């Protein structure tokens, strides 16, 4: 007896020094509000927002931080915003001891698309975008 397993790997960007947030079922205006608050409060220099699907967004911040600060920022935004799915995301990243965002397609969801840029993008965002470009070249 043989079984056929369907493997659909999901490509992501994972590290400990880039602050990343994953907003599920949240309007864009709320994502922008909390991203700006975090950026200003923690001096994160800038951020980009990617739409992963309707009302689902990823945020990548520019300033490099140590892991302890990364966890602090993710949890601060999750608690202050009272967004339960963001709390779940922050907890899971802490358990994994690194944070990850999807950069490839997932099922019928396309590659997340950049829809908003704010301020500086020359450090962690630049690294993220370079890696994303390499992955896109491989899968397209």
Mean pLDDT over the full length of the chain: 94
- For residues 104 and 43, the answer to whether their CB atoms sit within 8 Å is no
Both tokens of 64, joined, read 């490099």
Q: Is the confidence at residue 126, as pLDDT, over 60?
A: yes
Summarised one tens digit per residue, pLDDT across range 31-69 is: 999 999 999 999 999 999 999 999 999 999 999 999 999
Domain ranges of the chain: 12-139
pLDDT band of 2, cuts 50, 70, 90: low
| Contact between 12 and 102 (Cβ < 8 Å) | yes
Top-level CATH class of 12-139?
A: alpha beta
Q: How far apart are CA 78 and CA 74, in angstroms?
A: 6
Helix (H) or strand (E) holding 40: helix 28-41
pLDDT band at 5 (very low <50, low <70, confident <90, very high): low
């Amino acid at each position: 007896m043989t079984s056929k397993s369907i493997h659909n790997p999901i490509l992501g960007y994972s590290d400990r020094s880039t602050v990343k947030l994953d907003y599920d079922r949240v309007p864009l205006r709320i994502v922008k509000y909390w991203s700006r608050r975090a950026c200003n409060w923690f001096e994160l220099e800038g951020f980009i927002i990617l739409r992963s699907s309707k009302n689902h967004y990823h945020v990548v911040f520019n300033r490099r931080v140590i892991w302890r600060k990364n966890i602090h920022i993710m949890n601060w935004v999750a608690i202050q915003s009272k967004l339960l799915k963001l709390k779940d995301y922050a907890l899971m990243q802490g358990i994994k001891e690194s944070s990850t965002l999807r950069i490839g397609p997932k099922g019928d969801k396309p590659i997340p698309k950049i829809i908003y840029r704010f301020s500086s993008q020359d450090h962690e965002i630049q690294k993220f975008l370079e890696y994303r470009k390499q992955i896109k070249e491989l899968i397209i």
